[in-house]
Amino acid sequence: MTPLTREECAKLDTEDPLAGFREEFTLPEGVVYLDGNSLGALPKATPERVARVVEREWGADLVASWSTAGWWDQPRALGAKIAPLVGADTHEVVVGDSTSTNLFKTLVAALRQNPDRKVVVGESGNFPTDLYVTQGVVELVGATERRVAPGEPDLEAALATGDVAVVVLSHVDYHTGTLRDMAGVTRLAHEYGALVIWDLCHSVGALPIELGACEVDFAVGCTYKYLNGGPGAPAFTFVAERHHASARQPITGWHGHARPFEFSGEYVPAEGASHFLSGAQSLIAAAALEVSLELWSRVDLGQLRAKSLALTDLFVSLVADAGLTLVTPLAEERRGSQVSLRHPDGPAGEAVVRAMAERGVVGDFRQPDVLRFGFAPLYLRHVDVHDAAMALVEVLRSHG
């Protein structure tokens, strides 16, 4: 596309149906924040809600809040709020623990759902914790990891051996911003008799997700990136309804028990995704997430995706001649809400990111040579993207 002028960008902002959301976030003065793919911005309503859970629910009402403030059911209530963002039914999602722990639980459960097979396929270059957790699980249960190069051709070759129990993939790659074909890859895995676990950390809140329509088996994801749940906010777990009756995760704590307040000595799994809960979760962290998910309930995901593509298109077109190599696929069906650019002189790229930060444009750098810019459509304007691109061009020129 032809690069737009700043005036043209300003005009697009006036026509943006999501423009009003920007006012619902606290953003530091003079900063263009392109790191919402790492830590999402703070909703303005969050501090008051957090103060309420601390001062009223905890401080004043104390233990009574387990029932009166809905604390016990919060992992399910938050899951129900995430469900529409990922194309799931409300009872298929629960919130709690970290993405790493939830991947651990779902991977063990998925292996048990496919007991005649012992191979877990992952892709090199996936976010390290996915690879590490897979290593931990296969060592624990006596399975085997088969790691392939990213992409459907190598994946299909790995599946074709007929011994693959589970495939673990990221929906959007954290490093390159590549979006995978969730429907196609899931179908491919199923054709070869494998189950699929999708890591949604870099896609949830960045684009529409259709776990149900894609017949996904399990999914995990975090809420502190595009979902604005706060630093280290609790993660979520999706378990497709068809697995509810038989899927068994291994961290069988009392929050996943069918009748926890009977204090019986034998574990009986709760129904639905609730069985995937284990122990107590911070209700303060949960309150912060509750606020952002209420905000998210008003977002049209189609509008979100359209704006995300427009912003990333805009950025790519404005930095096209800057001397960096585009890593993120331009094809819309392969693009997340992020633009990754490779610097010809790897380590110098880190200095570029620092120099941009000094000019108020916050992106990040990932070893060995990638500049990473995330585009959160709820609080970024076209003019912000224009300013960020110009800053990048100028920094590269002055660092040249």
Q: In the range 35-64, which residues lie near a second copy by CB under 8 A?
A: 35, 38-39, 41-42, 46-47, 50-51, 53-55, 57-63
* Residue 130 annotated in ligand binding: yes
In the complex, the smallest distance separating the C-beta of residue 375 from a second copy, rounded to whole angstroms, is 15
Burial 176-186 (b: 16+ CB within 10 A, else e): bbbbbebeebb
CA distances from 123 to 127, 128, 154, 300 (A): 9, 10, 9, 32
Secondary structure in 3-state letters for 86-133: HCCCHHHEEECCCHHHHHHHHHHHHHHHCCCCCEEEEECCCCHHHHHH
The reply, when asked if residue 264 is annotated as ligand binding, is no
The residue within the footprint of a second copy, chosen from 70, 282, 322, 393 (CB under 8 A), is 282
Please provide residue 194's backbone torsions phi and psi, each rounded to the nearest 5 degrees. Answer: -105, 155
Applying the rule CB under 8 A, the residues between 157 and 186 that interact with a second copy are: none
Active site residue 199: yes
- Cβ proximity of 119 and 163 under 8 Å: yes
E strands in 124-246: 144-148, 164-170, 195-199, 218-221, 236-239
61 to 120, contacts with a second copy by CB under 8 A? 61-63, 65-66, 71, 97-101, 104, 108
Q: Which of 33, 236, 238, 375 binds a second copy (CB under 8 A)?
A: 33
Q: How far is the CB of 169 from a second copy (least distance, A)?
A: 15
Minimal distance, residue 332 CB to a second copy, in Å: 27
330 counts as binding a second copy under rule CB under 8 A? no
Residues 228-267 as x/- pattern, contact with a second copy by CB under 8 A? --xxxxxx--------------xxxxxx-x--xxxxxxxx
Catalytic residue from among 16, 97, 199, 369: 199
Question: What burial class does residue 251 get, using C-beta atoms within 10 Å of its C-beta: 0-12 exposed, 13-18 middle, 19+ buried?
Answer: middle
Q: Which of 76, 105, 372, 381 is catalytic?
A: 372
Q: Which residues are annotated as a binding site for pyridoxal 5'-phosphate?
A: 99-100, 127-130, 199, 202, 224, 254
